Structure 1
């Protein structure tokens, strides 16, 4: 999960530049969409070069933490002390430091103060009514800072402004110097499932236990950078985090029967685990399959026998930007190693009995698949651990993430729940790369975090199973968003807190744009090389959008300014219309007949969740003999639904009923079937740009003998006239029909004007209805769960 800020301004070194689609020649039909971005991007300098690479004087700060904390479970409170060492690697003198107090998001006093509209509800609860009456939660939340001193214990002056705290330095911190200070704090832990937020606890009334996700839990340094200075924008809840790399040592005291999973490597497992558990941990180090370190039986027993004793778990993590942890007596813990460039990475999962049927089978192997896939497309995964914890949410931190996906009480699950669980695990584990390693400022540029990650998530899902029903990535899936009225759209380059449609804007549209670049504009080889170069250049650094845009062009020799301008700085959709088709031979010229209308498709709700359309990526992956899908490499991943989708199991269900579109009766007239002298046919096609966004023109010709041919015209064909293009083609065979963008690669919002002499396909809305229910991650469609009705 991510968000960002990029209000209407891109911030450069020492100046603010308007971040919008500035037109060079307003009112003209040319010299706008293909002009260079120019001053829209910040001026290159010694820190960030015109090539998109870090400059010779690039610098970034560092911050190390030594934290001791205690989870007071009876009172649901956290108490902590931290020693912070801050390194000033900048060329600037600093007179104060800014600290993030993210828990103040829940404070009734020190929250950001941002509010939205709220109408009068039709129904309400007593708790909701109390909040409406007072504007407060029913318990005091937020950070309680009890002491701030230097290393010698001398108090430091500080000021809290909402979710930020400024510490006054006793003397100027000069370049190359470091400053050590200490903070003591505590806070009441929020009931996350009741009040929202990324961290807190979930209460399980069935067994009377809590599951804690400790995130944004310690006061932490803001980023001080060359392009912005202090990133101290208030934490509102949507835009996420800008953080500094450093080393962590954290000691967590918790109830003795809790299992703790955390960023980094455990330093005292032998002391906190039972001998049997520690032996299993040792076995897991070289296992070929998943090993339960803490078993389901042990977790169930702990749920009923709560300990009053305490244990301290110690973890260390180097070169990370953050630290998070989970703690519960409900946790089952499993693990197995995988290897990235010969280096062992322990892939692990923790989950309660409610998720056991899904997580035990899939989670850890999905973690391993994810870091392998991301390593292929970016850089080799550098950390020793990657882990997934089930906590009924989705959020990411270095080496650890919190996901969702629970079974029915009988252990079965719907296909939507399974696919949602796999999707969220891949997405959140993938965030290790964006932004945990390629460390963009999430509060400023959400899409560099969520969008880039969603793109590689899509590639990873595609490599998991060729039939996996991806939710974002293929161009046709963004069409409904691109169709929305302009007052419901913002450019991708927009502050997260100001976006109406956050999911499509920050996740889907950037991911789709990158996939269009990869499959349709640049080609896989050129795109993959440039994308890996960006990852290599900016791993463990702080990139900006300009660094990404410039690197993609620098490493590929592709001028993509037109694409950044149209897809990222604008809201225009793609709608290329095939307006006229003229056919001629030496003596005949005629105008083509009109198009036909579309028909409808219906399907029952209990069918497998399959892709409504096999996009170009799926087809190319299937044709690439070098690709081995995860479900082929490891047949243990083939569950009921893998077989169900392929018709390999029987279920007690009503047969499907399908309405077949009527055949087209719109054919060429007798006069139009005149033989062409020399067997040559000339076709003049007129296209108009009705949407505003320029895109390549992709033409599928279907000939009278049933064969097909594709012509691809690069987007630059629009450069002299951004509104209209006329192209003439000579074909050796007579054309029966023409269709634009047959593989739906350009996110064209109106396919009805893409065809000549061919019956239109059902609309996407009709296809969606036919699939019934969509694929909301972790959610059931409400249909009968066919796994419960398998005929053995």
Structure 2
């Protein structure tokens, strides 16, 4: 009995390169520990906001104006000579860097932020500040150094801007059938992050999402009285902006697992649905421990809600607002059910949802996430609505709770979120919309380990550890979402197993909740928490687009004698290596699955698996259940021949 499948000339695998130590490009120090968790002297600055804004919906081009007071606390060991803020609306100015980066006409669609005043508090009063605007950044020069380790300063800014229409880069306004819907985000000047990695992180806004500081938000939005406003956080003045009936229904929803209407479809636009006719109303919201807030406004909204049941007896409220044309159980009538189930699932599996409300908005800026509120499409329905709802609210965990730097590492927030999505799709209503791998997780609708192969074999495809702004649209989803999520799925299911992956992943989330982890922190946390040196995985899947090719090379008698047993040789032909299952099929109709650890190839390009004498081997197959991204499956199965 001897058979060979050997491809000696085809070997690309190099054990020394595959198993070399992985350079994290981030030194361990007192701020970030070797176990991937915050160090004993980890620090993080803080930005607390009080904002007053007014929506002008009467003009041909709607606008928003406001004023804010930012209380900025410098907890770093450095004295600061200036503050930097993000002016994301300037992306739409003529000649913005974002326009050039996108290869679009540089004429601009708005004037961006018009800063009416920028002031610093000195001696109990506000005085004009020395400022410089550079594209989407604002520098405020301080009159004296801001003290380290607790120095605090207040900054007051008044501003206004025209609201971009259409997509508007992750915010928008546009028409439902019965009136406009406003999705307002990136709507106030926001502090840039000063951290222990780069100091001020001032990457310009090129439409690749955000990196923001945490704090508490108290904000007020004034709008026409016929509008409903849904905002991040808790509504603080329902007695001023809701009718007695609506307040009663909200109270009922807090105790109901079934969806309760706050405003029914038949009540949209009725005078009885508003506590005041004509003029304006001011909605007051508050949210603690968040990096951002957003809101939506429209007179066309129906509104429903249900209780979210959280671990340890806690609860929150799932809410949906949507125009009349989105109503019905085939569409947005199930939105709150989707939202409730997703938040409960993610809380149970990974980390408890920390905020009082989770809101889904049917609007113009579809598929965007902000803390406690997400914007999805008016026309979304069925499976598509479930998936986008679960995905966008899943961003509450990444990057709203775990504060990843999306401007640099979009693969972390999008990939981690897509990863947890896959389990929610499997779990919801006994798999009603599962598996998600039929769509976003595996764009071609097949096995994801096959779907990823064209991506990682494409010589032009970027690696995961690529700055987000550099990834062109062709590769944004396949790499940033799909490859990143599949990497975590493989790590959990095939490399570590849930018993080691889950505790390490949960510990990482809990330790970095409302903080700023970097890629190296995640790599170290999983190495240390799961008890595995994963250098070979981080290098092959994250730092490179290496591919895997395992094959059964030979089935031979040991030392040429069947009485000594059978040797099965399994080779690694390509640069990526992974643990694998070898299935040995016997003449009596049975089979045995053998787990080959990754160290099987740590010294050599092939490894031998020995079967004791007394069993006749008919064939051997590596990865028989098709769980690994093996680029060439033609050499996976080898049939023994009689000798």
Regarding TM over 0.5, the answer is yes
CA distance in 1, matches of 2:249, 2:171: 30
Q: What is the aligned partner in structure 2 of residue 261 from structure 1?
A: 230
Give the one of 203, 208, 222 matched to 2:192. Answer: 222
Query: Partner of 2:580 in structure 1?
Result: 697
1:462-495, CA deviations, whole angstroms, 9 ceiling, x for partnerless residues? 2213361313568941533433444322221111
Matched, 1:466 2:438: no
Structure 2 match to 1:328: 298
Task: Tell whether the 8 Å contact from 1:438 to 1:540 is kept in structure 2 after alignment.
Answer: yes
Question: Structure 1: how far apart are the matches of 2:405 and 2:327?
Answer: 35
Distance 1:187 1:700, change over 3 A: same
Given that 2:449 and 2:627 are in contact with CA atoms closer than 8 Å, whether structure 1 keeps it comes out as no
- Alpha-carbon separation, structure 1, partners of 2:363 and 2:220: 22
Measured against aligned partners, the alpha-carbon deviations of 1:181-226 in whole angstroms (never above 9, x if no partner) come to: 1111111111134xx411020223x43x111110111100000001
> Which residues of structure 2 form unaligned runs of 5+?
1-11
| Structure 1 residues 404 and 712: alpha-carbon distance in aligned structure 2, compared to 1, 3 A threshold | farther
Q: Does structure 1 retain, via aligned residues, the 8 Å contact 2:548–2:630?
A: yes
| CA distance in structure 1 between the aligned counterparts of 2:464 and 2:333, rounded to whole angstroms | 37
CA distance in 2, matches of 1:331, 1:458: 30
Rate the CA distance shift 1:173–1:359 in 2: closer, same or farther, 3 A. farther
In structure 2, relative to structure 1, the CA distance for the partners of 1:546 and 1:40 (3 Å cut) is: closer
Residue of 30, 37, 47 corresponding to 1:63: 47
Q: How many angstroms apart in 1 are the aligned matches of 2:134 and 2:68?
A: 21
1:498 to 459, 466, 470: 470
Change (3 A) 1:704 1:319: same
CA contact (8 A) 2:331 2:382 kept: no
Is 1:688 aligned to 2:555, yes or no?
no
Name 1:526's counterpart in structure 2.
500
Q: What is the alpha-carbon distance in structure 1 between the residues aligned to residue 229 and residue 308 of structure 2?
A: 22
Equivalent in 79, 87, 90 of residue 104 of structure 1: 90
* Structure 2 counterpart of 1:164: 137
| Corresponding residue SS for 2:419 | helix
Matching of residue 753 in structure 1 with residue 635 in structure 2: yes
1:488-516 alpha-carbon deviations (Å, 9 max, x no partner): 22221111121241112211112111111
**Cα-to-partner distance string for 1:570-613 (whole Å, 9 max, x where unaligned):** 111122233x332448988xxxxxxxxxxxxxxxxxxxxxxxxx
Report the 3-state secondary structure (helix = DSSP H, G, I; strand = E; otherwise coil) of the residue aligned with 1:682: strand
Q: 1:731, CA displacement in angstroms? A: 7.0
| Map 1:151-190 → 2, pairs under 5 A | 151=121, 152-175=125-148, 176-190=150-164
- Cα deviation, residue 394, structure 1: 0.7
SS at match of 2:17: coil
The answer (yes or no) to whether the contact 1:104–1:111 under 8 Å persists in 2 is no
Q: Kindly report which structure 2 residues correspond to 1:260-659, keeping only aligned pairs within 5 A, or say none.
A: 260-299=229-268, 301=270, 308-340=278-310, 341-357=312-328, 358-392=330-364, 393-404=366-377, 406=379, 417-464=381-428, 465-466=430-431, 468-471=434-437, 476-484=447-455, 485-500=457-472, 501-578=475-552, 580-584=553-557
Counterpart in the other structure of 1:4:
none
Residue 46 of structure 1 is matched in structure 2 by: 30
Asked if the contact 2:13–2:576 (Cα under 8 Å) also holds between the matched residues in 1, the reply is no
Is the contact between residue 458 and residue 473 of structure 1 (CA under 8 Å) also seen in structure 2? Answer: yes
> Which consecutive segments of 4 or more residues in structure 1 shift more than 6 A?
302-307, 585-588
**Separation in structure 2 between the aligned mates of residue 706 and residue 376 of structure 1, nearest angstrom:** 43
SS state of the match for residue 373, structure 1?
Answer: helix
Write out per-residue CA displacement over residues 404-426 of structure 1, whole angstroms, 9 at most, x where no aligned residue.
3636xxxxxxxxx5222111111
Per-residue Cα deviation, 1:14-70 (whole angstroms, up to 9, x for no partner): xxxxxxxxxxxxx99332211222x44311111111111211111101111111111
C-alpha distance in 2 between matches for 1:252 and 1:524: 45
Structure 1, 271-280 or 98-107: larger mean CA deviation: 271-280
SS in 2 for 1:742: coil
Deviations 1:49-97 (A, max 9, x none): 1111211111101111111111101221111111111011111111111
Q: Which has the higher strand share?
A: 2
Asked if the contact 2:566–2:617 (Cα under 8 Å) also holds between the matched residues in 1, the reply is no
Q: Distance in 1 between matches of 2:231 and 2:498?
A: 37
* Residues 166-195 of structure 1, C-alpha deviations (whole Å, 9 max, x = no match): 0111211111211111111111111134xx
CA-atom RMSD in angstroms: 2.6
Unmatched segments (≥5 aa) in structure 1: 1-26, 119-130, 408-416, 589-675, 759-792
CA contact (8 A) 1:473 1:515 kept: no
Aligned partner of residue 114 in structure 1, secondary structure: helix
Deviation digits for residues 421-475 of structure 1, max 9, x if unmatched? 1111111111111111111111121122111111111122222133613135689
Report the Cα offset of residue 292 of structure 1. Answer: 0.7
Structure 1 range deviating more: 746-755 or 469-478: 469-478
Name the CA shift for 1:402/1:116 in 2 (closer, same or farther; >3 Å).
closer
Report the counterpart of residue 77 of structure 2 in structure 1.
91
Contact preservation (8 Å) 2:47, 2:72? yes
Counterparts of 1:643-792 in structure 2, within 5 Å, are 682-690=566-574, 692-721=575-604, 723-730=605-612, 732-757=614-639
Distance 1:113 1:170, change over 3 A: farther
Give the Cα separation in 2 of the matches to 1:327 and 1:731: 75
Instruction: Give the match's secondary structure for 1:517.
Output: helix
The offset of 1:256, in angstroms, is 0.9
Contact 1:737 1:755 in 2 (8 A): yes
2:118–2:155 contact (8 Å) kept in structure 1: yes
Contact preservation (8 Å) 1:302, 1:329 = no
Query: 1:93, 1:351 → 2: CA distance?
Result: 48
Relative distance call for 1:324 and 1:732 in structure 2 (3 A) is: farther
Paired residue for 2:6? none
Residue 438 to residue 511, structure 1, CA distance change in 2 (3 Å): same
In structure 2, C-alpha distance between the alignment counterparts of 1:230 and 1:261, rounded to whole Å: 32
Separation in 1, partners of 2:378, 2:566: 57
The alpha-carbon distance between structure 1 residues 181 and 587, as it changes in their structure 2 partners (threshold 3 A), is: closer
Number of equivalent positions: 609
